[in-house]
């Protein structure tokens, strides 16, 4: 018994503790912002910049950020880490902390916060071919202007808009990972501002997430309804876009997507079971049933809907758009 204990103690005594060697220190080359950052404009008390640099393959990498975080870090064409301060010189203490933070994030493919007041740019804005979508929009604008000369449709990344607008999430711009300034926006605008918008947020496997907002003074004019019809037509023409995923937080959004965008309910959503218990299908669901669902039980309900981008849905959306801008019943058309 005692020898067994002794043997155990010896084995423990001879066991060596493995020590992990510290990660090599990441060297950060501090440079002037003028070589990479161009000021564009102010937006909600933030300064917006275009950041551009060369990659190892000879291509140019472009991102749009604001000064919510003033230290910017990226890898240049030689693979070296570069830091610049958007408005001044980098803080020496932050340089050391960023070096340690990068060693933990090596291999990251996302833009995001590296630490407080410092962001890491690890990806570039993807090139999106909008030529076919813009061709569709030009034809739709001809019909819209004939109905309402003071209105027009616009499709562009947010950083290309000079018109003032309201967005669904106006305070997300401090997060560089949110792609706030490169988000593709479909907007209805007048001569002074854009009054109704739908944002398109690309996700993996061709999924497009959407957010929408209409200025309160323009609600009730069927602008959001028209934009949703336009949405199905233009997204079908954007390469790589396969389907729209929307989180409907109110009965109106749900009704518009089900009725006019031919949306389906995401499998497993509680609303699916709610309809099944009442022997209701998507073909005969009514606005009243949708309102009852949102008002029942706990508040804050959401319905997850999917709109497939195909020719059939695009043609249906075109008929809906025509009815809204050049229909036979003025009461069902948009108000200019």
| CATH code of residue 326 | 3.40.630.30
323 and 189 within one domain: yes
Domain extent, residue 196, equals 131-332
319 and 250 within one domain: yes
265 and 184 within one domain: yes
104 and 169 within one domain: no
206 and 69 within one domain: no
91 and 218 within one domain: no
248 and 148 within one domain: yes
Arithmetic mean of pLDDT over the chain: 85
187 and 269 within one domain: yes
Query: Which residue, 161, 35, 28, is CA-closest to 86?
Result: 35
Domain end marker among 120, 146, 178: 120
Task: Divide the 336 residues of the chain into consecutive groups of 10 and give the mean pLDDT of each group.
Answer: 42 50 72 94 86 92 90 93 91 87 76 88 86 96 95 93 78 59 91 93 80 90 93 92 88 88 90 93 92 87 91 91 85 90
| pLDDT of the residue at 177 | 58
188 and 115 within one domain: no
Domain end marker among 68, 100, 120: 120
| pLDDT of the residue at 55 | 92
**CA dist., res. 265 & res. 272, Å (int):** 7
| pLDDT of the residue at 91 | 80
Query: Which residue, 293, 257, 261, 265, is CA-closest to 281?
Result: 265
The domain tally of the chain equals: 2
Measured CA to CA in angstroms, residue 273 lies from 219, 281, 293 at distances of 32, 11, 11
Q: From the CB of residue 326, how many other CB atoms can be counted at a distance below 10 Å?
A: 12
Please, are residues 207 and 242 in contact by the beta-carbon 8 Å criterion? yes
Domain end marker among 62, 92, 120: 120
| pLDDT of the residue at 176 | 59
| pLDDT of the residue at 205 | 77
């Amino acid at each position: 018994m005692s020898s067994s204990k002794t043997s155990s103690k010896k084995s423990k005594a001879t066991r060596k503790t493995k020590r992990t060697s510290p990660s090599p220190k990441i060297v950060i080359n501090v440079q002037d912002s003028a070589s990479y950052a161009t000021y564009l404009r102010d937006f909600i008390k933030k300064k917006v910049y275009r950041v551009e640099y060369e990659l190892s393959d000879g291509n140019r990498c472009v991102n749009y950020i604001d000064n919510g975080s003033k230290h910017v870090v990226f890898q240049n064409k030689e693979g070296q880490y570069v830091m610049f301060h958007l408005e001044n010189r980098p803080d020496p203490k932050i340089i050391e902390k960023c070096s340690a933070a990068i060693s933990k994030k090596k291999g990251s493919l996302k833009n995001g916060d590296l630490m407080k007041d410092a962001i890491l740019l690890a990806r570039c804005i993807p090139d999106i071919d909008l030529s076919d979508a813009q061709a569709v929009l030009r034809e739709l604008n001809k019909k819209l202007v004939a109905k309402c000369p003071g209105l027009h449709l616009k499709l562009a990344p947010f950083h290309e808009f000079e018109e003032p607008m309201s967005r669904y999430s106006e305070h997300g711009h401090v997060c560089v990972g949110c792609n706030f300034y490169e988000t593709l926006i479909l907007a209805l605008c007048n001569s002074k501002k854009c009054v109704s918008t739908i944002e398109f947020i690309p996700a993996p496997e061709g999924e497009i997430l959407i957010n929408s907002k209409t200025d309160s003074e323009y609600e009730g004019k069927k602008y959001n309804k028209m934009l949703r019809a336009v949405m199905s037509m233009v997204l079908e023409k954007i390469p790589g876009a396969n389907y729209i995923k929307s989180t409907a937080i109110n009965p109106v959004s749900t009704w518009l997507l089900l009725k006019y965008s031919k949306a389906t309910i995401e499998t497993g959503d509680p609303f699916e079971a709610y309809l099944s218990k009442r022997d209701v299908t998507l073909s005969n669901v009514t606005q009243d049933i949708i309102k009852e669902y949102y008002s029942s039980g706990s508040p804050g309900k959401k319905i997850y809907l999917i709109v497939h981008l195909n020719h059939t849905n695009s043609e249906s959306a075109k008929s809906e758009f025509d009815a809204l801008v050049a229909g036979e019943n003025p009461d069902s058309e948009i108000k200019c």
